[in-house]
Amino acid sequence: MSATERFLRYIRLDTRSSDSAGTTPSSQGQWALARLLANELQAMGLPASVDKNCVVTARMPASPGCESAPAIGFLAHLDTSPDFSGQGVKAVVHQRYDGGDVALPKEGRVLRVSDFPVLKGLAGKTLITADGSTLLGADDKAGAAEIVEMCARLLAGDTPHGPVCVAFTPDEEIGQGADHFDVAAFGAKYAYTVDGGAAGSIEYENFNAASAIITIEGVAVHPGAAKGVMENALLIAQEINAALPPEQIPARTDGYQGFFHLDGLEGTAARARMGYIIRDHDRDLFEEKKALLAAVCQRVGRAHPTAKVTLSMRDSYYNMKQRLAGCMHLVENAKRAAELAGLVPVTVPIRGGTDGARLSYMGLPCPNLGTGGYNFHGPMECVCAEDMEAAADMLVHIVRIYSGYGQ
């Protein structure tokens, strides 16, 4: 079985997480995928297990002569984004893709090269999309497939290898992927998350991240008698958002630039709720953004003394770069492994985060590797079959390098 074949099995399961479920994992579909992955690993002879929090772990002992090599870990996450439907995913396989626009069968959606220029570089390869009515699930079922395929290749061949640890975690998409992860029990000295974009990409810088919830209690009266009394919570919400820098939003930033992202606004004139995520690669600028949002809420609240503006804010994760400064061999060895797999290594900052960011702060240095997938979290998601196979090969080469056989 190839990484692609494994991937096409995994995406049939709806594993969307939910930030309102209040359970771990946040969806039943994640249990189904966890058991499927554990069963596949067990069928190879690996003693895989699923714990009470839906974390799948397995350990491959070192081959003879490689016992002293450092244990290397590889992780992917079970859930897909709650932002778009993951139910009834139907893959469409485009053999020998011509590099042009792709009309998806459902909902009239078209994957346009003008919107996603990366498609040009996939011409001649096998492109996999969903049918336009769901996301595909490459984030991160492609990573899961590549890790399982790596295990299969190591076990089936005569590749010498040190200890290899693998794990699949729930609820990464809602920021809870590392909540119940036991780094010490995992047993790896170093690790990689396999949760990125282009195959061959290596990411060791990510956003510092926080989430904020603003609740606004207005003063509701009949609009015919509202003069001097009504405080419209929705208008106060608009006032708060308008006070933030208009250029610091996702649609106007890229690279290392941070942003405020209003990702939820609901309510009535009487009560409203706003949800923000705050991001910046630079820790000082990140703290400044949090302070600015707090100051805006205070200022707007003072301007509406009979209303009530309440801000709740928490940090989600931090830039892993600081924790990887002494472990840059992880990046250099990944570059070499990419070249050996026939890929072009590229280091890029993540405009997001992974479980690896939190794991790095928990004592497990953990950069992120590309899977061959693109356009995550929506119906335009796609993945390249040949790049998935090369990504799995890259993982094998990483293991060989740390075992002393990666020439």
Tell me: the pLDDT tens digits for 155-186? 997 788 999 999 999 999 988 889 999 999 99
**Tokens coding 208:** 């510092």
Residue 347 falls inside a structural domain: yes
Give me the active site residues, please. 79, 172
> Residue 132 above 90 pLDDT?
yes
Do 113 and 223 lie in one domain? The reply is no
How buried is 285 (Cβ within 10 angstroms: 0-12 exposed, 13-18 middle, 19+ buried)?
middle
Residue 195 falls inside a structural domain: yes
> Residue 359 above 60 pLDDT?
yes
Contact assessment for residue 112 and residue 101, using Cβ atoms and an 8 Å cutoff: yes
Do 16 and 50 lie in one domain? The reply is yes
Place of tokens 């919400």: 237
Residue 116 falls inside a structural domain: yes
Final residue in a domain of this structure, among 316, 350, 366: 316
Contact assessment for residue 192 and residue 330, using Cβ atoms and an 8 Å cutoff: yes
Contacts for 398 with CB less than 8 Å, ≥ 6 apart: 72, 192, 333, 334, 337, 406
Contact assessment for residue 95 and residue 205, using Cβ atoms and an 8 Å cutoff: no
- Rounded mean pLDDT of 282-308? 98
Do 289 and 339 lie in one domain? The reply is no
> Residue 405 above 80 pLDDT?
no
Contact assessment for residue 29 and residue 77, using Cβ atoms and an 8 Å cutoff: no
> Residue 407 above 90 pLDDT?
no
Final residue in a domain of this structure, among 316, 342, 373: 316
| CATH number for the domain that contains residue 298 | 3.30.70.360
Residue 167 falls inside a structural domain: yes
**Tokens coding 145:** 């497939």
Residue 384 falls inside a structural domain: yes
Contact assessment for residue 397 and residue 406, using Cβ atoms and an 8 Å cutoff: yes
Do 201 and 162 lie in one domain? The reply is yes
Final residue in a domain of this structure, among 270, 301, 316: 316
Q: Give percent of the chain with pLDDT exceeding 70.
A: 100
- CA atoms of 40 and 19, how far apart (whole Å): 29
Do 281 and 373 lie in one domain? The reply is no
Residue 407 falls inside a structural domain: no
Residue 125 falls inside a structural domain: yes
Residue 246 half-sphere exposure toward CB, CA atoms < 13 A: 3
Do 163 and 249 lie in one domain? The reply is no
Do 40 and 148 lie in one domain? The reply is yes
- Rounded mean pLDDT of 128-145? 97
Residue 98 half-sphere exposure toward CB, CA atoms < 13 A: 5
Do 266 and 182 lie in one domain? The reply is no
> Residue 210 above 60 pLDDT?
yes
pLDDT band at 229 (very low <50, low <70, confident <90, very high): very high
- Rounded mean pLDDT of 120-146? 97
| CATH number for the domain that contains residue 65 | 3.40.630.10
Residue type, 304: H
Do 152 and 216 lie in one domain? The reply is no
> Residue 406 above 70 pLDDT?
no
Contact assessment for residue 77 and residue 359, using Cβ atoms and an 8 Å cutoff: no
User: Residue 158: its pLDDT value, please?
Assistant: 77
Do 295 and 371 lie in one domain? The reply is no
Domain, as residue range, for 273: 208-316
Question: Reduced to 3 states, what is the DSSP secondary structure of residue 192?
Answer: strand
Contact assessment for residue 342 and residue 389, using Cβ atoms and an 8 Å cutoff: no
Name the domain count of the chain: 2
pLDDT band at 289 (very low <50, low <70, confident <90, very high): very high
- Rounded mean pLDDT of 313-319? 93
**Tokens coding 295:** 């100051």
> Residue 251 above 70 pLDDT?
yes
Residue 139 falls inside a structural domain: yes
Spacing of C-alpha 153 from chain mean position:
25
The 10s digit of each residue's pLDDT in 53-93 is 999 999 999 999 999 999 999 999 999 999 899 999 999 99
CA neighbor of 301 nearest in space, from 224, 239, 361, 367: 239
Full-model pTM: 0.89
Q: Report which secondary-structure segment, H or E, holds 311.
A: strand 308-317
> Residue 312 above 90 pLDDT?
yes
Do 173 and 275 lie in one domain? The reply is no
The 10s digit of each residue's pLDDT in 365-384 is 999 999 999 999 999 999 99
> Residue 221 above 80 pLDDT?
yes
Do 352 and 220 lie in one domain? The reply is no
Q: Give percent of the chain with pLDDT exceeding 90.
A: 92
